[in-house]
């Protein structure tokens, strides 16, 4: 079967760095997405990786290793507003999005 694994919950301190991991086993691969979802809000797009390596966008970076079936989202200089759930999703060979259950990130002062 197809599976996306990410930690259920993480806690970090304001100003620090946190890495949220995502491992996947899917039938084929056409890219990996990260979305952010604040409580009671719509998920919003953060990043899309289809080639190996690190993509940086301001305080957020996303890394992909296709051979390892692994990605991470790196958040630097954490702010209280970064408290949210982070969703990992993989586009499989049929161009279907397979979603993880999300990682709830709690930022403490």
Partner 1 sequence: ETGVTQTPRHLVMGMTNKKSLKCEQHLGHNAMYWYKQSAKKPLELMFVYSLEERVENNSVPSRFSPECPNSSHLFLHLHTLQPEDSALYLCASSQDFQGITEAFFGQGTRLTVV
The residues binding partner 1 (CB under 8 A) are: 4, 8, 30-31, 33, 40-45, 48, 87, 89, 91, 95-102
Min CB(68)–partner 1 separation in Å: 21
Nearest to partner 1 of 78, 88 (CB atom):
88
Nearest to partner 1 of 12, 88 (CB atom):
88
CB atoms within 10 A of CB 3: 12
Min CB(16)–partner 1 separation in Å: 25
Nearest to partner 1 of 13, 25 (CB atom):
25
Min CB(46)–partner 1 separation in Å: 9
Token pair 């409580």: residue = 39
Min CB(5)–partner 1 separation in Å: 11
Sign of CA dihedral 43, 77, 9, 94: positive
Sign of CA dihedral 85, 108, 5, 65: positive
Sign of CA dihedral 20, 59, 51, 47: positive
**Phi and psi, residue 108, nearest 5°:** -110, 145
Nearest to partner 1 of 56, 77 (CB atom):
56
């Amino acid at each position: 079967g197809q599976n996306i694994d990410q930690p259920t919950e993480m806690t970090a301190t304001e100003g620090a760095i946190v890495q949220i991991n995502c491992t996947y086993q899917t039938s084929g691969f056409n890219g990996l997405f990260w979305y952010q979802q604040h409580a009671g809000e719509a998920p919003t797009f953060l990043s899309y990786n289809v080639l190996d390596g690190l993509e940086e966008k301001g305080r957020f970076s996303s890394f992909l290793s296709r051979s390892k079936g692994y990605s991470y989202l790196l958040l630097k200089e954490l702010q209280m507003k970064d408290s949210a759930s982070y969703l990992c999703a993989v586009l499989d060979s049929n161009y279907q999005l397979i979603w993880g259950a999300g990682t709830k990130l709690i930022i403490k002062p």
